[in-house]
Amino acid sequence: MKLRTFKKGGVHPPENKLSANVPIRELGLPDQVSIHMAHHLGAPAVPIVEKGDKVKVGTLIARKGQAFISANIHSSVSGTVLKIDDVTGGSGYRSKAVIIKVEGDEWEESIDRSKELVEEIKLTPGEILKKIEEMGIVGLGGATFPSHIKYMVSDQRPADTLVINGVECEPYLTSDYRSMLERPDEILVGIQVMMRAGKVNRAMMGIEANKPDAIELLQTKVQKYPGVEVVPLKVKYPQGAEKQLIKALLNREVPSGKLPLDVGVIVNNVGTTLAIYEAVQKNKPLIERVVTMTGKKLKKTGNFLVRVGTPTTMLLEALGEEIPEGTAKIIRGGPMMGKALNSIDIPITKGTSGIILMDKSEVPRREPQTCIRCAKCISVCPMGLEPYLLEKLAKIDDFEGCEAEAVADCIECGSCSYTCPAALPLLDYIRYGKTNVMRLQRERRQK
């Protein structure tokens, strides 16, 4: 059978899924957590606790901001609030965080901590949405978009399909893969919850063909859920990008500047599906997530269930490892779209899917050469853009030109920079162009 995939562009970076066979294990409790208020896309949450307050696991510590796009934040541990202070985050900038000293592991009584699968959905669509919002659920694929907003389906824009992203197309990362293997039933109930919330009768789960055991397992389990389909996909990066995934599964193209809902689709990641299951069926806020800790120079790699706010160094310690000699990059997220950190001393956030240590031999910095017009960047661009041209325009600050060449459509997947034989920093310049085009557009709106 021919596997489905998106048509245009794409690359095949080496998969390096080193931790694929390591089961998820609970990391355990740190001495202290730092929970950032800017955990998600949009406005930071506002702390509602003060120094000295006692909190339990699941206590609301910060309420979503005034802005439309924002999310609640809960304590991931029980203990005492030490202080509310600026802490360096993954961006390298300092921002507000609640720092809690861990004392015991006492959970809010409302949370159902049993392992029992709760299949029956009691809530109405409206109540489910409120629950998702209340429990601070955000997209766990990395973008951390507050989930409840995705489901605000108005009558003008009804969705007909729920797409579950089990692609995990980034190299190294295995947190979604392990979740699918270890918690398939909860994921499938989560899908039912989301189908009800989005008022759709159909759900499609896309999984790349390099995870045959996960596909087989879910295909067997899914049979008792009508309307849900598990679709194996051809391995190709960036299939996990929502526009590409919708194209691969449904052959629909989200128009430039529009959202999946404009073509009747809601997309959620596997990790988010689990979080939504727990929030709605178990009353559990988003306080922990699965994080892959990996790197070629590590003797051991792992997948951990980590409380939000835990120092990243704890993951290394749990493996009995130290940062290997010659590590040149520490990456949060995947190696194609993740962020290079300037220190490993940062707390795990809701959006941290993995921490990758890359050796200097893996990230050689090649001197940029000259463009030989090989057109490889065009052939790999999944958005049908011309990266070579955008780079040239951005270099000379021609932002109107960038805008006309649809720089805003760029999903920053990095396929162009990955491929370029001249090692040109194409995406760096494209981001520069894109940021300035967005600034121009903002200024125009204000006029």
Query: Under rule CB under 8 A, which residues in 4-63 are in contact with another protein?
Result: 8, 11, 13-14
DSSP result, 125-145? HHHHHHHHHHTT-B-TTTT--
Least gap, CB of 318 to another protein (angstroms): 13
User: Residue 309 CB, nearest distance to another protein (Å)?
Assistant: 18
| 428, 435, 439, 441: residue in contact with another protein (rule CB under 8 A) | 428
Q: Are strands 354-359 and 288-295 parallel, antiparallel or unpaired?
A: parallel
Shortest distance in whole angstroms from residue 414 CB to another protein: 3
In the three-class reduction of DSSP (H, G, I as helix; E, B as strand; rest coil), residue 155 is classed as coil
Instruction: Determine, following the binding rule CB under 8 A, whether residue 240 of this chain makes contact with another protein.
Output: no
Long-range contacts of 429-432 (CB under 8 A, 24+ apart): 429/390, 429/391, 429/394, 429/395, 430/387, 430/390, 430/391, 430/394, 432/394
Site for another protein in 254-283 (CB under 8 A): 254-256, 258, 263-264
Minimal distance in Å, beta carbon 201 to another protein?
Answer: 17
Q: Which of 343, 361, 435, 441 binds another protein (CB under 8 A)?
A: 343
CB of 254 to another protein, least distance (A): 6
Report which DSSP code applies to 69.
S
Q: Which stretch binds another protein (CB under 8 A): 29-37, 202-210, 253-261, 278-286?
A: 253-261
Sequence-distant (≥ 6) Cβ neighbours of residue 392 within 8 angstroms: none
Asked if residue 344 binds another protein (CB under 8 A), the reply is yes
Subset of residues 386 to 425 that bind another protein, contact rule: CB under 8 A: 386, 388-389, 406, 409, 412-415, 417-423, 425
When computed from its CA atoms, the radius of gyration of the chain, rounded to whole angstroms, is 22
Only one of the segments 24-32, 97-105, 219-227, 384-392 lies at the binding site for another protein (rule: CB under 8 A); that segment is 384-392
The residue among 113 and 258 lying less far from another protein, judged by its C-beta, is: 258
Asked whether position 437 contacts another protein by CB under 8 A, the answer is no
Reduced to 3 states (helix: H, G, I; strand: E, B; else coil), residue 405 is coil
Q: How many residues touch another protein (CB under 8 A)?
A: 79
Decide whether 213 or 317 has the Cβ nearer to another protein: 317
Q: Looking at residues 87 to 146 of the shown chain, list those that interact with another protein (rule: CB under 8 A).
A: 92
Based on CB atoms, which residue is closest to another protein, 52 or 364?
Answer: 364
Helices (H) and strands (E) in the chain, counts: 13, 17
Secondary element (H or E) of residue 97: strand 94-102
Nearest to 405 by CA among 373, 429, 369: 429
CA distances from 114 to 109, 118, 205, 244, 384 (A): 12, 10, 27, 37, 48
Instruction: Kindly tell me which of 98 and 241 has the beta carbon lying closer to another protein.
Output: 241
Return the closest-CA partner of residue 119 out of 189, 216, 202: 189
Q: Provide DSSP, 202-269.
A: EEEEEEETT-HHHHHHHHHHGGGSTTEEEEEE---BTTTSHHHHHHHHH---PPTT--GGGGTEEEEE
Contact call for residue 336 and another protein (CB under 8 A):
yes
316 binds another protein (CB under 8 A): yes
Q: For residue 405, what are its two tokens?
A: 């060449």
In whole angstroms, how close is the CB of 422 to another protein at the nearest point? 6
Residue 385 found at the interface with another protein (CB under 8 A):
yes
Decide: is 373 part of the binding site for another protein (CB under 8 A).
yes
| CA dist., res. 427 & res. 407, Å (int) | 11
Pick the binder of another protein from 123, 328, 408, 438 (CB under 8 A). Answer: 328
Minimum gap (Å) between residue 59 Cβ and another protein = 30
Nearest distance from C-beta of residue 383 to another protein, angstroms: 4
**Tokens (6 digits) for 317:** 């310690």
Question: Could you say whether residue 382 binds another protein (CB under 8 A)?
Answer: yes
Residue 41, classed as helix, strand or coil, is: coil
Amino acid at 115: K
Q: Would you state the structure tokens that stand for residue 381, as one six-digit string?
A: 């661009």
Site string for another protein, 141-160 (x = CB under 8 A): --------------------
358 in contact with another protein (CB under 8 A): yes
**Residue with smaller CB distance to another protein, 39 or 332:** 332
